Every structure is written in structure tokens, then in C-alpha cells.
Amino acid sequence: MPEPKTTEIVSAERVALHLRSRFNPIRNLTPATLAYQLDRFHSGYIRDAAITWDKIETRDDVLSSVIPKRRKSVSRHGWEIVMADDSPEAARQKEALEFFFAELTATSAVDLNYTGGLQLLVRQMMDAVGKRYAVHEIVWQPTPNGLTATFRFVPVWFFENTAGKLRYRQSEGAISGIPLEPGEWMVTAGDGLMEPCSVAYMFKRMPLNDWLIYSERHGMPGLHGVTDAAEGSTEWNTLVTALQNFGVDWAMVTNRGAEINKVDTSATGELPYPKLVERMDRAMAALWRGADLSTMSAGSGEGTGASLQGEESDILEDDDADLISETLNRQVVPWVLRYALGDVAPLAEIRINTGQKQDVKLDLEVDRFLINAGAPVAVNDLLERYGRPQPNPDEQLAVRAPGPLAIGNSADRREPANVSGAQRRQVAIALAGNAMDQLAQAQAAVLKPLRDQLEYILGIEDPAFQRAALRNLQNELPRMLVEMNADPETAAVIENAMAAALVNGWAEGAVDRPVQEVAA
């Protein structure tokens, strides 16, 4: 079995030579130059295009905003090691992988000021989404407690792809490079969004420059001084000095009898430059973050664009997480297990987590079906699913009171002790009747989903789960009402009616509990 590589391939001399030879590739960038670089990139000579893309990423105002968001969205939810089965061997592999990924170091080969852990490594791997490839040199580090490694992020312009597979160029002027040995390098391959973004940047830069020239020439009017004084006289020179003091480029002095014809090069209608610039900005934002919010909203109505953008952003985040997980599991995990545990069949792997998307309404329907079908459902699981913690044994529980609901332990908020159970029941019935009268005045069709939810909650026999479901419905009530009915007056009536019903004890049996159990 080969030994893990513990020395660096990308030397300090190689990095120093690169830093001394750096240049700004976009200062004199033209469409012809960009087209040549893109053609060379697809021929395997990726250096010039990659350097240009890197500079555009940091200089363009839109890209410098959306690209970090895309990279960070997939690195912020953490990670976990999952096992293929419950065998002791899988548990042993999980322990080795957890130590490795928790203790690894990520840094940059050309800028050692960047250092971090797996979160930084994921952001560096996401560079492949823009530049098509992201390459890390792996320097293994065996320790008494387990195996770990340092991942050195090497700029993609240190490599060439003329043979159909990336090879490392050992010097700045080298045409061909050396192969990347498995277990010594990790290559992440992505979409390469900077190719279309560089084209959009060029089409944005050209009208933006023209816009700036137009503003410089026509943003301030010229001044024309007219005098009867002879040229060179004191009066003439005084007028010339006065015009010069205004600090404008377009200024002249003539005798009154002189004739000057106007040559107007300013636009008479709407300037074309702003729309071209905005069009390219939207294109770049849509490439990196999904559907453009303003464009989609304008074409589909308010809210549609935001919903579609959210869905596409979720798709991109899930796909990015799968890309990172698959790359690590194929190019790193087998070598970790081999170097740490020997020649074993992989039974554990890493998974990059994504944000949890919860559909509360769907969860309620599923829970309702399971409970009605007699399936065993744990109260702790229900509370956790709806974001409600399990109360401590010594905590006073909040229950449905006959008066307005308020949660707390203050004695002055509790129901008076002289109110009987029958009186509490009468108050609850009266409030429920008033609520039903208001509900009857609203539109019956649009209220059906809400009635179904209430009937389901009232049918729950477990008090703890019933209270959790009611609290969740109370929190979701304003949003549900807006979705069910767009009429503000109807929505207000429904909200008032349902709020009165919810807080005044629709749960059968709550009014019969002792007053001491009723939380103020």
C-alpha cells in the first residue's frame, strides 16, 4: 500500500515566481481578446481565461456580491458522516472520518493568510462553479490521535488541460505539465459560469464606458460669453477670466457680431446605456443565484418572482451540496480509510447538509392521517417537528383559559378563584358562538382549509399535542388568511373571529380543569 504524501508539490519558489509576474488582464480587454482567451481555454490552455475570470469576479460590482453568496450558501449548514449499516466496522470508519474532517486544515498555496477548516474548504471547492475547475493539493498529516490533512487551494491557472485531464505546470512559462496523482490532488469540476459571465461583463463594460463618456461631455452645459469689447482689451480679458473661473471645459468668448452654429450630439430620447447595463447585471445575477427576482416579478405578478427564485436557489444549493459531497467521497474518503484503517470496503461517507425546508401545512395533514389511522406518533417528535421544546418537569404548563390567553406565571394574571366551572363554560360557549357568527358571514369556500385544520386539532385527544398544534396554527393564521382571501375586509373579519375562537378554549375539557392549572 502506498504511503501518504506528506510534502508539498507546489513550492514556495513556484508561487513567488507567479506573484512577481502577475498582471491586470482586464485593463485593455476587448471582445476580440476575450474570444481568443475562451477559445484557448477550450483547447486546454486555461491560464489566460482563468486569470481574466478571477479579476472580473473581484472587480464587477454584481459578481462580487452574488458569487460569495452562492459559495457560502452550501457551506453554512454543516456536515455529517453517514453509515451504510449499523455494523462495528461502519462505526469504526465513521469515527476515523469524523476525526479527519473535523481536524483538517484548508489554506491557499498563494496566500497563506487564508486558513480554516472544512467550511473554508467547501467555499474553495465552489470556485469550480465559476472557473469549471478547483484544485487542491493534499498534504497528509498522520497524528497519534488519527489521520488528517492540509488542503492547499492552488489557482486553476497553474494547470493545463491539453491532454483531456488537468496537469500541473511546474513553472510559469511551462506549456505542458505533470499528471495529478490520485490521493495527492483533489479536483472539483463544476459548471464554469464565468465563461458566460465574462461575455456579459464585456457587453456591460462597453455601454458603461460609453455612458460615462456621454455624461462627461453632456453632463454640464458649455458657456458662451458675448461682449462688445475688442479682443485683448481689459473688458475682453476680464470676461475670459470670469469664464475660466467657472471651471468648465466648454467655454468661449466672442464679439457680439460673431456667429456660432450649434452642433448637438446629445440624445433626444431615453439613453440606451442604462438598459444594456441593467440587462447584463440581471443576466449575471440569474446565472449565479437562479431566477432574477425583478425580472420574474415584473412578468408574472407580485410574489411569483420571489417564489420562483426561492425554488431555484434551493435547487442550486442542493446540487452544490451533492457536488461537494460526491467529490469528497470519491477523491478523499477512500484514501482516508486506506491510510487510517487499511484496505477496507467503504461503509461510511460524508454528507454536506442543506437547509431544511418545512411545509407546516403538509406536516399537519400527515400527522392527522397517521393519528387517525392509529399509527404510534411520539409527542416529543411532534413538538420537535413544529419547533416547540419539551417543557421541563418543574415548569408550569400553559393551558387554554376561558379568558384571553396569556402565557406566564404571574399570580395577578390567573383567573379569579371564585369563577366556577359552569361560568367558565358559559363564557367559552358565548365567545365561541360570537366567533361562529363572524365566521358564518365570511366566505365559506375559502375557509374550508382552515375549518379542516380546526376540526383536526379539536379531534386530537392528546392535550400536549393539541396545544402544540393550536399554537402552531395561531402563528400561521395571518399567513393562511392572506393566502385564502385577498379581500382585506374579509380577511380582517376572519382573523378577528378565529383569534377569538382560538384563545378562548375550543378544546373540550379545558374549561373543566381546576383553576390552579390554568396559566394566566
Q: Band of the pLDDT at 291, cuts 50, 70, 90?
A: low
For cell 442550486, name the residue.
316
User: Is residue 305 pLDDT above 80, yes or no?
Assistant: no
The DSSP call for residue 395 is S
Tell how many helices (H) and how many strands (E) occur in the chain.
19, 12
Torsions phi, psi of 213, nearest 5? Answer: -65, -45
Q: How many CA atoms lie within 13 A of 486 on its CB side?
A: 1
User: Is residue 287 pLDDT above 80, yes or no?
Assistant: yes
User: Is residue 510 pLDDT above 50, yes or no?
Assistant: no
Do residues 182 and 273 share a domain? yes
pLDDT top residue among 65 and 209: 65
Do residues 293 and 381 share a domain? no
Which pLDDT belongs to residue 435?
Answer: 53
Structural domain includes residue 232: no
Structural domain includes residue 234: no
Do residues 381 and 505 share a domain? yes
Q: Which residues contact 275 (CB under 8 A, 6 or more apart)?
A: none
Do residues 290 and 408 share a domain? no
Residues 349-359 have a mean pLDDT of 80
Which pLDDT belongs to residue 437?
Answer: 57
**Residue 123 host element (H or E):** helix 118-125
Q: What is the pLDDT of residues 149-204, one digit of tens each?
A: 999 999 999 999 999 999 999 988 888 999 999 999 999 999 999 999 999 999 99
- Identify the domain boundary among 319, 353, 387: 353
Q: What is the pLDDT of residues 321-342, one digit of tens each?
A: 999 999 999 999 999 999 999 9
Structural domain includes residue 259: no
Structural domain includes residue 289: yes
The CA-atom distances, in angstroms, between 62 and each of 83, 171, 288, 312, 519 are 41, 34, 10, 19, 53
Do residues 110 and 26 share a domain? yes
- Identify the domain boundary among 310, 333, 353: 353
Sign of CA dihedral 452, 455, 459, 465: positive
Which pLDDT belongs to residue 219?
Answer: 60
CA distance 90 to 82: 9
Residues 214-218 have a mean pLDDT of 69
For cell 506573484, name the residue.
19
Do residues 72 and 22 share a domain? yes
Structural domain includes residue 388: yes
Structural domain includes residue 459: yes
CA distance 151 to 186: 9
Kindly state the cell numbers that stand for 505: 378554549
CA distance 48 to 55: 11
Do residues 475 and 395 share a domain? yes
Structural domain includes residue 241: no
Mean pLDDT (the chain) is 78
Kindly state the cell numbers that stand for 515: 383553576
Which pLDDT belongs to residue 239?
Answer: 75
Question: pLDDT over 70 for what percent of the chain?
Answer: 69
User: Is residue 364 pLDDT above 50, yes or no?
Assistant: yes
Do residues 383 and 346 share a domain? no
Q: What is the pLDDT of residues 13-29, one digit of tens each?
A: 999 988 888 778 888 89
Q: Band of the pLDDT at 260, cuts 50, 70, 90?
A: very low
Residues 489-498 have a mean pLDDT of 56
CA distance 272 to 288: 25
User: Is residue 431 pLDDT above 90, yes or no?
Assistant: no
Which pLDDT belongs to residue 483?
Answer: 62
Do residues 103 and 70 share a domain? yes
Name the nearest CA neighbour of 100 among 154, 60, 141: 141
Residues 373-377 have a mean pLDDT of 78
Structural domain includes residue 431: yes
Which of 66-75, 89-98, 324-333, 374-383 has the lowest average pLDDT?
374-383
Q: Band of the pLDDT at 115, cuts 50, 70, 90?
A: very high
Do residues 312 and 382 share a domain? no
- Identify the domain boundary among 332, 353, 374: 353
Name the nearest CA neighbour of 324 among 71, 152, 54, 109: 71
Domain count, the chain: 2
Do residues 112 and 146 share a domain? yes
Which of 35-49, 99-113, 332-346, 371-385 has the lowest average pLDDT?
371-385
Amino acid occupying residue 187 = V
Contact 256, 266 (CB under 8 A): no
Q: Which region holds residue 74: left if phi is over 0, alpha if psi is between -120 and 50, else beta?
A: alpha
Q: Which residues contact 259 (CB under 8 A, 6 or more apart)?
A: none
For cell 473535523, name the residue.
102
User: Is residue 416 pLDDT above 90, yes or no?
Assistant: no
Do residues 286 and 366 share a domain? no
The DSSP call for residue 254 is E
R_g (Cα) of the chain, nearest Å: 35
pTM: 0.63
Name the nearest CA neighbour of 398 among 463, 321, 312, 329: 463
Domain residue limits at 99: 1-218+269-353
